[in-house]
Structure 1
Amino acid sequence: MFKQLLVSLVLVSVLACGSKPRVSLNQEETLKPSAQHEVIAKEVANILENISYKKVAMGDSLSNIVFKNLLNSVDMGKVYLLQSDIDDFEQFRNSISQDFKDGDLSAPFYMFNQYAKRYIESMEYALSQVDVEHDFTVEEEYINNREKLGWFKTQDEVNDQWRKRVKYDLLNLKLIGSDTTSMEKHKDVLRSRYKNLISQAKKIDSNEVFQVVMGSLTDAVDPHTTYYNPFFAQAFNESMSNTLEGIGAQLMMENETVKITDIIAGGPAFKDKRLKINDRIIGVAQGDGEFEDIIGWRLDAAVSKIKGPKGTVVRLRVIPAGQDLTAQPKIVELTRDKIVLAEGSAKYEIKDVKGDDGANYKVGVISLPKFYIDFEALRRRDPNYKSATRDIRYILDTLKQKDVQAVVLDLRNNGGGSLQEAIELTGLFIDQGPVVQVKDVRNRVEINSDREPGVSWDGPLGVMVNRFSASASEIFAGAIQDYGRGVILGSTTFGKGTVQSALDMSRFISTTSRLLLKASDASESKKNENIPAGAPEFGQINVTMGMYYRVSGSSTQHRGVEADVSFPSQFSADKFGESSEPAALPWDSIKAAPFKKVADLNSINKTLNEKHQKRIEKSPAYGFLLEDIKKFNEEDSIPKVSLNETKLQAERDKFKKENRERINQQLKYLGMPLWEEGKPQPQHEFDFILDESLTVMTDYIRLSEK
């Protein structure tokens, strides 16, 4: 449905306001904050001001950011609210964070209630337009996302937007449906969609609004500081949610569509490789059944359709990452499975690589999707507890027995995990020494070191990273780079260099506040009767309490780790990673830790880059990569779609033809059968970055021998 009701663990932030009179919430049907919400808001504001690493004052500048965050949460696309609503809300712009300090949530709830009213009005108008006769031959354009435009000035402008939206939805259903499906059937789908949206909007309760409101504040302070209400806190602490079941993808709701935020290692989506991060799911079909439209559904409802018993088939209608909602969707069929976390363990394969000198080289490639450890087995003192370091130590012994000449550790899309594992894994490649420094809220610096003597692999080492390599991956890659122990291959990493602690909000709720809550209206008390067993009564805040630093003294925050041998990336720094977050902590540095470099690779890295650049300039595969990046980043400043059926169909046919031609170029290069029109797309794995990285390693082997 809308971004703020995502029931997704990623959208959270906090608000605050001052000492002015509270906004009147006198409408009978408006949602109101509970006494518990007000107490929690006040304590969260206190934590952010006095306990968190950033210690942000609840002042005018923060209020302005919170205000913008709340508007973006409810109406980022600017398709519901009027300019008159925004003018009315302006009274809160510079005071909303100060109000949080007093536990006053009347302003954000007032804003949300007005938005909810406009939302239902728009949906009801859209529903009334389904049976209107629409002419698909006239020249008319529809703007799906108006984020870069101004707010509507009149209700007539809003109505015209939704008239076009209904017309587009019907046209889109017609173009992606079969020739035998009637227009009346498409109208049935659309009626059901809008009725569902209205029904869900009317079921929103104050707890969900509170989650949105708190998200607007914490996002204004720090992208990794998050308040979770009791329901989300339990899900987070169990490291489990419905979004991880069935296909193995982590999901969130954004602008009425289900977006993929992570692919879980070992799951069906991970093995299939067709689904990508930031793809959006707009339709679901069970087996060979008909597709069910899920645009605008709440996340839990959409997930219930996507997940299912092991062995059953689900088909997904997907808008590829980087493409507008108006693009032609792709169909991905997956067989559901139980997500066995062990399948996310380190794996290896041995590659025979031909170098530029014509000789053949053996390179061991280790894929590590996350830095894992079985904490429960470790607590039981099980001598055979499972961890990334233990698995990779065994793999390295195996690779040495098979006489590999170099090792590549693939950390692409590895979002992190256990800090201790990052330290111990580094120790397999260096002989004792500091690995990472951590500075806390009191500016005290602790040096974390590998204390185990000896190494498991002392030969040529490559570490592959990309924009989604984060946290523990950056600590490991940074240490390998600082020590001169290996060459970093790929693109600049995510840039997450902050440390979070999970704090139970019960610790901050005073006895006086608890007594006041007990004495509050009994109807409010009933709102919390359904809190899951074991969930924290007042929720939980995951708050930034420190920063990581490399042994060189440089932070990984914001800047990430830059590759020694670089490849172009489709994920630009202004849209992806820590640098794309307005409230992210800046980069800084501290004193270097005392460590001894293994080698100075500056000269070798320079030579590797020169050979790399000469080679890729002549490679057809490199051209494919550049073309894919260009396609991914192509977008109009204000994307428009034609509502003329002939013109829109021609545009989509052109896109499908160009896409098929591009894929056929890759298939031909790989020596595979070409993709014929009307047939399913052939499955092929095209990984130019891995192939070229392995060739770089053959150069590294020769240079190391010299």
Structure 2
Amino acid sequence: MFKRFYFVLALGAALACNAAPSKPAKVNGSLNLEPTENQSNAVKAVASLISQYNYKKVALNDSLSLIIYDHFLKSMDEGRVYLLASDIADFDKYKTRFDDDIKSGNLSNVFYMFNVFQKRYSDKINYSLAQLNKEFDFKKNETFAYDREKLPWASQAQLDAYWTQRVKFDLINLQLAKPDEAKNKETLKKRYENLISQNNKLESDDVFQLFMDDFTEAIDPHTNYFNQFNKAQFKLEMSRSLEGIGATLSEKNEYVIIQSLVAGGPADKTHQVNAGDRIVAVAQGKTGEFQDIVGWRTSNAIKLIRGAKGTVVRLKLLPEGKAVSDPTKTVEIVREKIVLNDQRAQKSIQNYQQNGKTVKIGIINIPAFYVDFDAARSGVADYPSTTRDVKLLLDSLKKENVDGIVIDLRTNGGGSLTEAISLTGLFIKDGPVVQVRDTKNEVEVDKDEDPGIAYAGPLAVLVDRFSASASEIFAGAIQDYGRGVILGTQTYGKGTVQTQIDLNRYINSTLGNRINSIVGNVTGRNNATPEIDYGQLNLTIAKFYRISGGSTQHKGVIPDIQFPSSIPLDKYGEDTDPSALPFDVIAKSQYTKVADINTVLPQLSQLHQARMKNSVVYKNLLADIEEYKKKAAENTMMLNIDVLKKQRDEDEQKSFDRNNALRVAMGRPALKKGEAKPKKEDLDALKLEAGQILVDYIGIATDKVAKAHTPAMR
């Protein structure tokens, strides 16, 4: 069995970027990329491993081919602004061929489709360049459907019309920032020329990685292939030892997107960078000129963003939910070496007033489930470990006489399974924590064997949509035991286990070798480094289940008291991915509940709702969520500079007023226009409310104890 080698992979562990040594030829001014024999061998190996050993048994047939085909089209042209309707009609014959192509290692059809796309892409950017010679009427009322994702594939004439408007749209955005048409046209000219230059640098392995992403995504969201470059990136991310800003990047609709942040990393410390932000431009140092990166490949953007420790990089960001015509914000970040120590658990204390008394609530933020195995094996006394660190924090908080503790797992994407189990053990006597079912349907129950309890007092766990994997194991166990109150929003639902397979070892080994000899030990290497690197496969091999029997997969953990989510639940989470494994139930483990939280939930919920009904903070949060939904639903705009400026100014004022109302409601002074926010200011209203709910819980429990010891009246 290879269960003991698993690591619960955190969400967004690897950077999505590509590079390869192949040298493509040009045909008629466009790239003519061709697959290699190594790629053929790699796709056959991945298909074989998935067919034999993936937890989700999926037949590689015509039905799956259709899904892979749709994913591949979307990856190339999600906005439907490059490929023609006639191209799609031509591609139609490949819809049910990909399954056979993958089995045989034939990538010619994949590369044909991509080469057509590349030609269309080049044509549209050159067309855009030509439009810059025209005069534009910025006062004309003209409706621009900038989001074509749900529209039919278009003809040449329709796309020409789209790109004429798109150039005007790009120009208006620059005009809104600085009304110098000649200079703005030159800026756009450089942007478009840069896109063509990058397009000409694409290589064979870029196409292969793109297709393999779509192939593995059709199987399940967490079975992934990494080419040689991405394999190295994955290991850097997992080792937490690269120098940069501490963010995972991806691409969507011409933008490089902040996919996730490393908790405690440089970007996270600014409190100005968020998952979903679009990076518009990058500048080096405090005074360097901004380089526009709209339309760039992620790998090229990373080269600008990553840099030596101690150096400064500035990013122009367009926050998620903001219209593309809205102004960007500039964030200055000092690059650091991203190491595990930056992500260690931290504590704080929040005081509350109840019935004339001060109630002290300790808050422990756990950004990841981490452990430094190498340091532990080397005998380092204070090696990083979530459980060890939290134990020390608990001891410290008990000495400070806190009345209750909140464990904050928001944005905690997971980490070490063993740490999730041992951390749970700090709050329960002993017993099962999680169940794991493998591909043979054999179930293993992982237990806390230590009868000691580090903290037995009132407990709450705060989660959000980005709490995943190991976070869900911990929160689910605390909920099943009735050990604490779970607060926040439905978690991500990542309840699968992956192992990492070095394809060099698989492909170069005897075909009949058992998979046990190649999985699990990621660091195992032959002494000789092979000249050919086939990449790495992260393969889903098992599934997590709560001790109550339900899976954490797909459904996640549903909080006892739910908060509104600023993270759109319909865009993020396992249940938004059609290829995700389903929720199901197995037999429950044998365990004894500590308490029945359900007896106090109605009262806690009533007190919470009463506070929220008149809370300015809560109303602002709901208003922000509604504003985001409204912006996200928009797909057209008026190409009139006066209309757009008025709309932008109104949105800015509305946001400014709401932020000031929030500050005042939380006892902070209102800011003046242009005044910067204090850097270390904590305006986390949901964290404060989580502490208040725990205060209510303590009060209810105290009342029950008091009543139980009050003599009956005679």
Fold equivalence (TM over 0.5):
yes
Aligned residues: 666
Distance 1:43-1:335 versus aligned 2 partners, 3 A rule = closer
1:577-596 maps to which residues of 2 (within 5 A)?
577-596=573-592
AA aligned to 2:692 is: T
Give 3-state SS (helix, strand or coil) of 2:244's partner: coil
> 1:203 Cα deviation (Å)?
1.4
User: Are 1:397 and 2:398 counterparts?
Assistant: no
Structure 2 residue aligned with 1:649: 645
Asked if 2 retains the 8 angstrom alpha-carbon contact of 1:433 and 1:595, the reply is yes
Which moved further from structure 2: 296-305 or 547-556? 296-305
Structure 2 residue aligned with 1:529: none
Distance 1:7-1:494 versus aligned 2 partners, 3 A rule = closer
AA aligned to 1:433 is: G
AA aligned to 2:166 is: R
Distance 1:633-1:586 versus aligned 2 partners, 3 A rule = same
Distance 1:570-1:29 versus aligned 2 partners, 3 A rule = closer
Give 3-state SS (helix, strand or coil) of 1:239's partner: helix
Which moved further from structure 2: 450-459 or 184-193? 184-193
Asked if 2 retains the 8 angstrom alpha-carbon contact of 1:306 and 1:314, the reply is yes
1:80-479 maps to which residues of 2 (within 5 A)?
80-153=82-155, 155-177=156-178, 182-239=180-237, 245-286=243-284, 287-355=286-354, 357-479=355-477
> 1:238 Cα deviation (Å)?
3.0
Asked if 2 retains the 8 angstrom alpha-carbon contact of 1:284 and 1:291, the reply is yes
> 1:341 Cα deviation (Å)?
2.7
AA aligned to 1:669 is: A
Give 3-state SS (helix, strand or coil) of 2:683's partner: coil
Which moved further from structure 2: 426-435 or 144-153? 144-153
Structure 2 residue aligned with 1:516: none
Asked if 1 retains the 8 angstrom alpha-carbon contact of 2:44 and 2:105, the reply is yes
Asked if 2 retains the 8 angstrom alpha-carbon contact of 1:243 and 1:303, the reply is no
> 1:504 Cα deviation (Å)?
1.2
Measure, in 1, the Cα distance between the counterparts of 2:589 and 2:260.
34
> 1:339 Cα deviation (Å)?
3.1
AA aligned to 1:626 is: L
Structure 2 residue aligned with 1:77: 79
Distance 1:335-1:205 versus aligned 2 partners, 3 A rule = closer
Measure, in 1, the Cα distance between the counterparts of 2:545 and 2:224.
23
Distance 1:374-1:171 versus aligned 2 partners, 3 A rule = same
Measure, in 2, the Cα distance between the counterparts of 1:314 and 1:207.
29
Measure, in 2, the Cα distance between the counterparts of 1:56 and 1:507.
24
CA deviation digits over 1:585-635, x for unaligned, max 9? 000011111111111111112221121111211211111111111122223
> 1:171 Cα deviation (Å)?
1.3
Asked if 2 retains the 8 angstrom alpha-carbon contact of 1:344 and 1:369, the reply is yes
Distance 1:309-1:35 versus aligned 2 partners, 3 A rule = closer
TM-score, normalization by structure 2: 0.89
> 1:316 Cα deviation (Å)?
2.1
AA aligned to 1:418 is: S
AA aligned to 2:576 is: S
AA aligned to 1:673 is: P
> 1:243 Cα deviation (Å)?
11
CA deviation digits over 1:68-127, x for unaligned, max 9? 000000000000001111111111112212221111112211111111110001111111
Structure 2 residue aligned with 1:559: 555
User: Are 1:661 and 2:660 counterparts?
Assistant: no
> 1:194 Cα deviation (Å)?
0.8
Measure, in 2, the Cα distance between the counterparts of 1:535 and 1:438.
38
1:543-554 maps to which residues of 2 (within 5 A)?
543-554=539-550
Asked if 1 retains the 8 angstrom alpha-carbon contact of 2:277 and 2:320, the reply is yes
Give 3-state SS (helix, strand or coil) of 1:328's partner: coil
> 1:271 Cα deviation (Å)?
1.8
Asked if 1 retains the 8 angstrom alpha-carbon contact of 2:410 and 2:463, the reply is yes
AA aligned to 2:236 is: E
Which moved further from structure 2: 533-542 or 472-481? 533-542
User: Are 1:703 and 2:694 counterparts?
Assistant: no
Measure, in 2, the Cα distance between the counterparts of 1:632 and 1:685.
22
Give 3-state SS (helix, strand or coil) of 2:163's partner: helix
Identity level (%): 45
> 1:642 Cα deviation (Å)?
2.1
Measure, in 2, the Cα distance between the counterparts of 1:142 and 1:26.
34
Which moved further from structure 2: 289-298 or 341-350? 289-298
CA deviation digits over 1:423-453, x for unaligned, max 9? 0000000011010010011111111001011
CA deviation digits over 1:366-399, x for unaligned, max 9? 0100011011112334454320100111111111
- Counterpart of 2:572 (choices 570, 576, 596) is 576
Give 3-state SS (helix, strand or coil) of 1:366's partner: strand
Structure 1 residue aligned with 2:709: none
> 1:11 Cα deviation (Å)?
8.5
Give 3-state SS (helix, strand or coil) of 1:216's partner: helix
CA deviation digits over 1:406-434, x for unaligned, max 9? 01110011000000000000000001101
Asked if 2 retains the 8 angstrom alpha-carbon contact of 1:496 and 1:558, the reply is yes
Measure, in 2, the Cα distance between the counterparts of 1:470 and 1:535.
37
Asked if 1 retains the 8 angstrom alpha-carbon contact of 2:366 and 2:409, the reply is yes
AA aligned to 1:629 is: I
Distance 1:80-1:26 versus aligned 2 partners, 3 A rule = closer
AA aligned to 2:107 is: L
CA deviation digits over 1:220-252, x for unaligned, max 9? 110101011112112212326999643322222
Distance 1:546-1:271 versus aligned 2 partners, 3 A rule = same
Asked if 2 retains the 8 angstrom alpha-carbon contact of 1:234 and 1:534, the reply is no
Which moved further from structure 2: 620-629 or 262-271? 262-271
CA deviation digits over 1:273-322, x for unaligned, max 9? 11111111102233134432111122233223333444444332211112
CA deviation digits over 1:304-347, x for unaligned, max 9? 33334444443322111122323322222333334343121011
- Gaps of at least 5 residues in structure 2 are 1-11, 19-25, 512-527, 705-714
Asked if 2 retains the 8 angstrom alpha-carbon contact of 1:488 and 1:564, the reply is yes
Give 3-state SS (helix, strand or coil) of 1:281's partner: strand
Structure 2 residue aligned with 1:519: none
CA deviation digits over 1:442-490, x for unaligned, max 9? 1111110010111000010111100000000000000000011111111
Measure, in 1, the Cα distance between the counterparts of 2:13 and 2:181.
34
Which moved further from structure 2: 378-387 or 81-90? 378-387
AA aligned to 1:688 is: A
1:27-106 maps to which residues of 2 (within 5 A)?
30-106=32-108
Asked if 2 retains the 8 angstrom alpha-carbon contact of 1:8 and 1:252, the reply is no
Asked if 1 retains the 8 angstrom alpha-carbon contact of 2:325 and 2:644, the reply is no
Asked if 1 retains the 8 angstrom alpha-carbon contact of 2:16 and 2:249, the reply is no
AA aligned to 2:133 is: D
> 1:131 Cα deviation (Å)?
2.2
Structure 1 residue aligned with 2:516: none
Asked if 2 retains the 8 angstrom alpha-carbon contact of 1:490 and 1:566, the reply is yes
AA aligned to 2:434 is: V
Give 3-state SS (helix, strand or coil) of 2:32's partner: coil
TM-score, normalization by structure 1: 0.90
- Counterpart of 2:615 (choices 603, 614, 619) is 619
Measure, in 1, the Cα distance between the counterparts of 2:494 and 2:551.
9
- Gaps of at least 5 residues in structure 1 are 1-5, 13-24, 514-531
Measure, in 2, the Cα distance between the counterparts of 1:133 and 1:163.
11
Q: CA RMSD in A?
A: 2.4
Measure, in 2, the Cα distance between the counterparts of 1:107 and 1:636.
35
Asked if 1 retains the 8 angstrom alpha-carbon contact of 2:256 and 2:278, the reply is yes
Measure, in 1, the Cα distance between the counterparts of 2:303 and 2:529.
22
> 1:667 Cα deviation (Å)?
2.3
AA aligned to 2:176 is: L
Distance 1:687-1:382 versus aligned 2 partners, 3 A rule = closer
AA aligned to 2:127 is: Y
